[in-house]
Chains A and B, each alone.
Chain A
Amino acid sequence: MNIRPNEITSIIKQQIENYDIKIKNEEVGQIIQIGDGIARVYGLDNCMYGELVEFSNGTLGMALNLEEDNVGCILLGSESGIHEGDIVKRTGRKADVPVGEALIGRVVNALGQPIDGKGTIQANATRPIEFEAAGVVDRKSVSVPLQTGIMAIDAMFPIGRGQRELIIGDRQTGKTSIAIDTIINQKDKDVICVYVAIGQKASSLAKLVSTLEQHGAMNYTIIVSATASELAPLQYIAPYAGCAMAEYFMYKGKDTLIVYDDLSKHAVAYRAMSLLLRRPPGREAYPGDVFYLHSRLLERSARLSEELGGGSMTALPIIETLAGDVSAYIPTNVISITDGQIYLENELFFAGIRPAVNVGLSVSRVGGAAQTKAMKKVSGRLRLDLAQYRELEVFTQFSSELDKATQEMLDQGERIVETLKQPLYHPIPMHHQVIIIFAVTNKYLWDIPIEKVKDFESKLVTFIDTQYSQISEAINSTKELDDKNVEMLKSAIEEFKKQYMDEIGG
């Protein structure tokens, strides 16, 4: 659309004519101390807590320490050009971010300004970054599953829409990968995703964005970035900004998913800011309200009742532990806030089990309510079998003669572990998961060699999709596996197995 210059001038002329000259009454203060991203301002008498203030060079700040004779403000931008004695103005509004459909597919910073070079964002609304979480009456219990596409999670620790599930583990154990696979799997599922990157390397974020673009996930994803080189206050507000963007959609009745990657760095940024604001340090030098920092963020994720539109916000916070210590301060805080955790272990990762989920320590407190009936039916035995396998695993190191029952349990366990391995960026649709888990738990794989298990399974689902597509369609439409389909599935698996065994000459 070509905008002619005289059109612009006429619009501007109109704006000037309509300009209503109001008396501008501002409240100001003077900077008495500025440094390290914190400014102490004398004056600003009626300033609200968390209000935005404007400095003489246009930088915005947030008033966080309201003291008797001064206001401590954090700077949300560069402090170059600001001197002691400069005037600071109240803006009268609380910190807010632009929200709306215009943000989808864009990469923005913690203030909602675009950083992907694709032009300005014409947001149709703004939302305050601090918003009270929905009350008890406004919520509905979680009952709709959020399919992550990762078999280990969807089968044993299902996540529902509106749940908060913590992804916790050491560095380089695949935490971000689980979140990205979940986002990629939300294609065509009418879920808006928000990915908040806090304190990450800009290069990692760039790689992530290109991965999401490759898989077509940017069509329904917003990325909020506060990389490691950005000011601590910006890293502090980034998750709240992302939450506000997701909340906009939630209160419109849509389902949303938000990933906070990661909250450990968020706590560190908050600690840096609080120490500079001269707030007293507590355990591990974190300020006293570091629990409240995360609890008010995560409580905003909910499933709303029908009166409010029935929308939901599922949160996947990520926490990095040091040397697997889940009993450190921040991890224990966040574990007590969330509705379950997925615990990723170093040893499992290096042993080749990826996703490296520790089945014993991971839990989803929503559980079966967030699973389709079909999945619930087939995955019941999974955790039990795996637990038994882990107990007996130590015997494999003896390489002695084992009795038949033990050997069978070990073989079954090995095949389950092999089945649950999954490559990166390859989410598995629900009906395929149901078929595969059905095959494993009903011991159809007992005589398939371990290294052929993955191959067998992928060929099995292709076979059923083509030859017995009524099973796949039935599972997809009704989300159930009724007895008639169970019988058909059994015969289909047997037929395929015979074919497969002939092929590999087994």
Chain B
Amino acid sequence: MAYKEGVHAFVKSLDVNIISAFPLTSDEMDRIKSKLKEKYNVSEVNLIPIIDESLIGGFKLVIGNQVIDQSIKGMMHTLKNQIITKTI
């Protein structure tokens, strides 16, 4: 794992897993790629699509050790926790 990171740091590229319930169109993929390039300041983003239907909708981005969770499953989870802890 550390070797891969070293290579990426050298080459200034990023491997990102994009996990979604449905396959994404190439337009959506490109928009996400450019946003990521901007945010992480790299010249190259390698978007690896993974399909996981349990997410119901939305997507989840796994960038190294950071996870950006915009899936419906994740939102339901947070909503549930919020309701449990805030209601009597």
| Residues of A bordering B, CB below 8 Å | 3, 8, 11-12, 15-16, 19, 21, 23-29, 42-45, 69, 89, 122
Contact = CB atoms under 8 A, between A and B. Distances in A.
B52 to A, nearest CB: 13
Contact of B83 (A15, A23, A44): A15
Q: State the majority secondary structure of interface residues on A.
A: mixed
A3 B88 CA distance: 10
Contact of B67 (A11, A12, A26, A122): A26
Contacts of B82: 15, 19
A23 B78 CA distance: 11
Nearest to B69: A24
Please tell me the size bucket of the interface on B. Answer: 10 to 19
A8 B88 CA distance: 9
A-B pairs with the 3 shortest C-beta distances? A43-B65, A24-B69, A26-B67
B68 A11 contact: no
B68 A24 contact: yes
Contacts of A15: 82-83, 86-87
24 contacts: A3-B88, A11-B87, A12-B83, A12-B87, A16-B83, A19-B82, A23-B70, A24-B68, A24-B70, A24-B74, A25-B67, A27-B65, A28-B62, A28-B66, A28-B67, A29-B65, A42-B1, A43-B64, A44-B65, A45-B64, A45-B65, A69-B2, A89-B67, A122-B88
B68 A25 contact: yes
B72 to A, nearest CB: 10
A25 B87 contact: no
Contacts of B83: 12, 15-16
A27 B68 contact: no
Nearest to A12: B83
A497 B82 CA distance: 71
Contacts of A69: 2
B70 A26 contact: no
Nearest to B70: A23
Interface in B1-60: 1-2
Nearest to B77: A24
B79 A19 contact: yes
Contact of A16 (B69, B70, B79, B88): B79
Contact of B75 (A21, A25, A26): A21
B59 to A, nearest CB: 12
Residue among A23, A28, A69 with max Cβ neighbours from chain B (10 Å): A28
A53 to B, nearest CB: 12
A25 B66 contact: yes
A27 B70 contact: no
A24 B67 CA distance: 8
A3 B75 CA distance: 28
A89 B87 CA distance: 25
Nearest to B71: A24
Nearest to A11: B87
